[in-house]
Structure 1
Amino acid sequence: MQLSETVTFGGSSLDRAAELRGDAPKLDALAASGRSFAVLFWRGKPLVEGEGDALTLARLPLGHPILADLSEPVFLGRESSDVGYFAYELRDWTPEGLNEAALRGFFDRSEQTHPALEAGQRFVELRAVMTLLNARDAELAATGKAILGWHATHGYCAACGEKSAIFMAGWQRICPSCNAHHFPRTDPVVIMLITRGNSVLVGRSPHWPEGMYSLLAGFIEPGETIEAAVRREVFEEAGIRVGHVRYLASQPWPFPSSLMLGCAGEALTDKITVDPVEIEDAVWITREEMMDIFAGLRSDILPARKGAIAQFLLRNWLADMGE
């Protein structure tokens, strides 16, 4: 099942051209080539255009007026020797009639348009369109959202408290006061396909939509291995002891900065004892029942979100891959 290239946000093989991040003359030349583009975000929402299967990440020319007053961009990578991508964050703009409650909802279906952009171009919640984007657009959107989100929340030095400055084309911050170097944050999270015989363990958080269940997951703690994190999280949340653990696949998950590490674990016990502080419910689901859930034949249990690694792992489990 180690097919991360087929997981949403993975598999585009974008040339991130890290060797250019500290080479200002070459970056300037790439930006001035006339063939490079800007990828624009507002509150973490990427700018897209088109509809349905024709939906794409909008690519703005670097000379577009809306970019003129924005802070310096982050270099995402290049398509070829003279085609590069730069991520910009649109700040200090509030759309007319903005519904703040919609932005905070579990499913944010709201879209925002800016008067300086073309008709059809709008900002959308990435989770709402991630399965519609091709692999390259999905990787660009996930990378831009994650790195710009890091800058938005890490503008001050963690060592001395002074405001830090952007370096290395956005991939580093340096404090001018104490010279501390800060790098983009990625939080490792284990997500577990825990099985016992013909059944898989799924659970739900209280803030999820009614009936939605997914695989158990949790953050890896300092000093902890992936395998130990799987066993600890499953026991903490559901009271299930886990034996053998193996890695399956991974997925960048920029909400805001996680790397999901998909693992398979063999349950040693089957009695569920839910910790209500961790999750609301957990149940064992057989393969046959999960097939009905994926087919939409049950209303009491809904499948994991499309595009998330949980659904990828479950679908491959149903297909007997990796068994």
Structure 2
Amino acid sequence: MTLGPLFGEALRSARSQKVPSLLAILLIAGLCLTVLLTSGRAVGAQQSVLGSIDNISARQLIVTAPEDAGLRSAVIDRIAQYSLVTKVFAFGPAVDARNTVIQGGDAVPFRVLFQPSATHSANDALGSARVSTPAQETLGMQLPAGAVVTASGDLLGVIGSFEPSVFTEPFEPLLVSEKQANANERIATLVITARSVADLDRVEEYVATVLGVHSMQGVSIQKDASVARLRATVDNQLGSFSSGLVAAIFGLTGVLVAAVLYALVFLRRKDFGRRRALGASRTLILALILIQIGILAAGGAVLGSLVSALWLSSTGDPLPPTPYFAGVAILAVITALIAAVLPALSAARRDPIRELRVA
């Protein structure tokens, strides 16, 4: 018998035994529901906590270099190509700048902002700059327009403003003029954002190898190591709790599924005996039982996953990621199939003459 007819026969067998089939579906659904409402909820909370820890400032590396180190803007493109880096930019040396219409006014740092060459934003015009909101207030400008003069005597026209972001907050107040990395000019500060806190160490190692400086003397690579340690601790503790709980639940459920399947096979012993007497092979009986259990387990896994997702959503708990839902469902089906192997072998090895004998 080919696979298609086997599926059809397995479905008919499942429908003919409504109570045992429903019990098997509910058992697998209960397995998925239990795992997703306990360990799944913990995984969702774990992802939420790790997401909070993985804020942008915690994922940043800040490289500072003295003038004689020879750190150039071309390094930005090399770092931007690394898969574990999500953002990189650099600042040139800071120069004080003051509003030209306010004699003796407060100064703000003026920096050249270098972006990767692949960034499609237009470069600021030569001799122009953009001002952040805090810098605009410090300079005494009512509008983000006017002129500033730097300590080195350069005159810059202010052509617009920008709101501070989590990337620029450590450098506020800020007056910038944007250039692309291929300018290959001197930079003083390099800011790299890693994909996650867990990737910081590898990003740091990579950055140290591609800086291209004359000497590492005076070059500083700063990161928040305490956040990385906290993330590793949270990840390990919550992860070990979840995996232990899942193993216990699946182990217990596997025993219960095996018991239910033994009962199901016992109830169908006459049917299996007739099939064997009519020429069905042991392999066919084994395949028929496993396919039937696989269908019931898949239905139960889908049902349990849907109910648990609705439950978690209604209670406001964080949902585990989609791959976790899929993993639990697949593992539930595999558990049911493994638990069904012994009952299926028992059914396939039964003596048809004994099963058909009338007491």
Larger radius of gyration: 2
Q: Which has the higher helix share?
A: 2
Q: Which of structures 1 and 2 has the larger relative contact order (alpha carbons within 8 angstroms, sep 6+)?
A: 2
TM-score, length-normalised on structure 1?
0.22
Q: TM-score, normalised by structure 2?
A: 0.20
